[in-house]
Structure 1
Amino acid sequence: MDTERFDSSDLGATEEFLSRAYTPMRIGGRPNDTQTRIERTAAGGLTVDRLTFGYTMSYTANPLGQICLITVHSGSMVDTTEGRHEVYGPGETFLIAPPDRPYTGALHSARYTITMFDPTVLDTVAAAGAHAAPGPVRLTGQRALDGGANRRLGGTVAFLRDHVLTGPTVPDPLVVATATQHLAAVALSALPSTAYQEECHRIDSRDAHTDTLRRARTFIEENAHRAIGLSDIAAAAFVTPRAVQYAFSRHTDTSPLGYLRQVRLTRAHRELKTADPGTSSVTRIAARWGFPHVGRFAAAYRRLYGTTPAATLRTRG
């Protein structure tokens, strides 16, 4: 097991160390406290670093060639690669960049853990899956799929850091190899990837039955007055967003959000028919049912009912 410590307030020395330890990079910024502390532990192709930067630092880095997971403990990190502005805060574990891509960003008084391993471990783990996709495996997204996935990934990193690579003795190579494969498997399940796309499609297609459609429709009809979206509809139907989309396309001629618009248009129509034109307005009723653009609301209303919402309001029975 290899260990290394770096503690310096010299920005030039920090840039040199980071370039040697990770990938050639340039750092900059306007630091107040330039103290940098890094503690590195590596064994069997697995590297875990603890880093503390007491200042704001920007960076421009070459590709790492490694799967690099960041767990933020305090402060924040901002990914600005290719014009993005993704902010990661305490408790988040994410992929900093694909192994073959350069990246840019900044960190703000951040304390965090870096965990790195060879990308081929992903292929080894994915090959053991019953429905793995052929070819090299890629992580296709940087953020975890949901809160539970983020906690699993962060917990796995913490276990490797605090138990596998910590102790007075050199860790058993078999333990390190097994732990690295476990981390790769958790990363594949927690982050978007090409590994199990075919299996996900199969499961989503299986769940796209009429019971899913019924549950989704019921939820939409009971909650059309609320600010709901596709993820809320899918959660109420106990399936993934893609499965509920499949269910609507398979059994209807609209989408989940299309059905939500239809329900809201119907509710707005009912209200226009019973509202008092002296105290209500088309704009107010349209906004109440999720149509902030009154012109688009009027066009959709006319296509469905053959008249304008203003005419319906005026002819209140």
Structure 2
Amino acid sequence: MEATQEFLSTAYTPMRIAKSVEDARARISRRAVGELTVDRLSFGYDLAYNADSLGRVCLISLHAGTLTDRTDATSATLRKAIAFIETNAEREITLADIAAAAFVTPRALQYAFRRHLDTTPLAHLRRVRLDAAHRDLLAADPGATTVTEIAMRWGFAHPGHFAGLYRDAYRRTPSDTLRLRV
């Protein structure tokens, strides 16, 4: 196990391998064609790494175990992602869009949200949209606007699902809020 960790750390970037030696079965094979080198890793344990220092393309085929990338799960990443979500909440955006805006991988983005907010990026997006729909319901004219129109505006395509999420968050139905008009 230590030899595997040392090989990976020397050949690529500093790595830490988790789990006990008794549980691990590591296999490494290397093929080279010209300047292209392909290392195939097969193992049954967790591997954490910082790929910043690689300075080259790293394509990974993982057959067993868990590969983790936590190096970009910083509060700066989170701030960029939240700013993008808040600016673009009314648009159709995906996890990949949010990650690209924060200049990280989708997985690193998920780690950042889990580490700092104990949620996921898409759950946060849903909450931002729900808050915006709540504000719109409070400001809307009940005679001119429907709950469904507001829900659809904020990306909630299924009115029943929207009503359930809304009720969980605000302890009243969206139609009750619409009738409250501020």
Fold in common (TM above 0.5): yes
Q: Deviations over 1:132-181 (max 9, x none)?
A: 8941469xxxxxxxxxxxxxxxxxxxxxxxxxxxxxxxxxxxxxx96x15
How many angstroms apart in 1 are the aligned matches of 2:110 and 2:159? 27
**What is residue 133 of structure 2 aligned with on the other side?**
268
CA distance in 2, matches of 1:286, 1:312: 13
Match of 2:62 in 1: 194
Structure 2, gaps ≥5 residues long: 1-7, 18-25, 42-56
Change (3 A) 1:135 1:127: farther
Q: CA RMSD in A?
A: 3.1
SS across alignment from 1:263? helix
Match of 1:207 among 72, 85, 88: 72
Matches of 1:254 and 1:248 in 2, distance apart? 6
Rg larger in 1 or in 2? 1
Within-5 A mapping of 1:276-315: 276-315=141-180
Identity of matched residues, %? 51
Where does residue 104 of structure 2 map in the other structure? 239
Give the equivalent residue in structure 2 for 1:129.
11
CA shift at 1:315, angstroms? 1.7
* Partners of 1:282 and 1:313 within 8 A in 2: yes
Residue 192 (structure 1) shift: 4.4
Q: Hey, what's the Cα distance between the residues in 2 that align with 1:218 and 1:186?
A: 38
- Once the two structures are superposed, the pairs formed by residues 68-147 of structure 1 within 5 Å of their partners are 129-131=11-13, 134-136=26-28
Aligned equivalents of 2:79, 2:152: Cα separation in 1: 27
In structure 2, the residue matched to 1:38 is none
Shift of 1:206: 1.6
SS at match of 1:214: helix
CA change 1:268–1:137 in 2 (3 A) is farther
SS at match of 1:206: coil
TM-superposition CA deviations, 1:195-220 (whole Å, max 9, x none): 9x98x62xx31211111111111111
Taking the aligned partners of 1:300 and 1:193, their CA distance within structure 2 comes to 38
Alignment-derived partner of residue 116 in structure 1 = none
Structure 2 Cα separation of the partners of residues 300 and 220 of structure 1: 19
Query: Which residue of structure 2 lines up, in the alignment, with residue 50 of structure 1?
Result: none
Work out whether residues 137 and 194 of structure 1, in 8 Å CA contact, stay in contact via their aligned partners in 2: no
| Matches of 1:137 and 1:299, distance apart in 2 | 52
Equivalent-residue separation in structure 2 for 1:187 and 1:181 (angstroms)? 17
Q: CA deviation at 1:194?
A: 2.6
- Distance in 2 (CA, whole Å) between partners of 1:248 and 1:306 is 26
In structure 1, how many angstroms separate the alpha carbons of the residues matched to 2:114 and 2:103?
Answer: 18
Which one scores higher on RCO, CA 8 angstroms, separation ≥ 6? 2
Judging by fraction of residues, say which structure has more strand: 1
The CA deviation string for residues 51-92 of structure 1, in whole angstroms up to 9 with x for no partner, is xxxxxxxxxxxxxxxxxxxxxxxxxxxxxxxxxxxxxxxxxx
Whether the 8 Å CA contact 2:138–2:177 is kept in 1: the answer is yes
Change (3 A) 1:302 1:127: closer
Q: TM-score, normalised by structure 1?
A: 0.42
Task: Determine if the alignment matches structure 1 residue 249 to structure 2 residue 117.
Answer: no
What is the letter of the counterpart of residue 239 of structure 1?
V
How many angstroms apart in 2 are the aligned matches of 1:269 and 1:137?
56
Residue 207 of structure 1 aligns with an amino acid whose one-letter code is: D
Unaligned runs of 5+ in 1: 1-125, 139-176
What's 2:35 paired with?
A: 182
Q: 1:226 — aligned with what?
A: 91
Amino acid at match of 2:27: G
Tell me, yes or no, if the aligned pair for 2:28 and 2:39 is still in contact at 8 Å.
Answer: no
Query: Which structure shows the bigger proportion of residues in helix conformation?
Result: 2
CA contact (8 A) 1:137 1:193 kept: no
Number of aligned residues: 149
Q: State the shift of 1:249 in Å.
A: 0.6
Determine the C-alpha separation between the residues in 1 that align with 2:144 and 2:39. Answer: 58
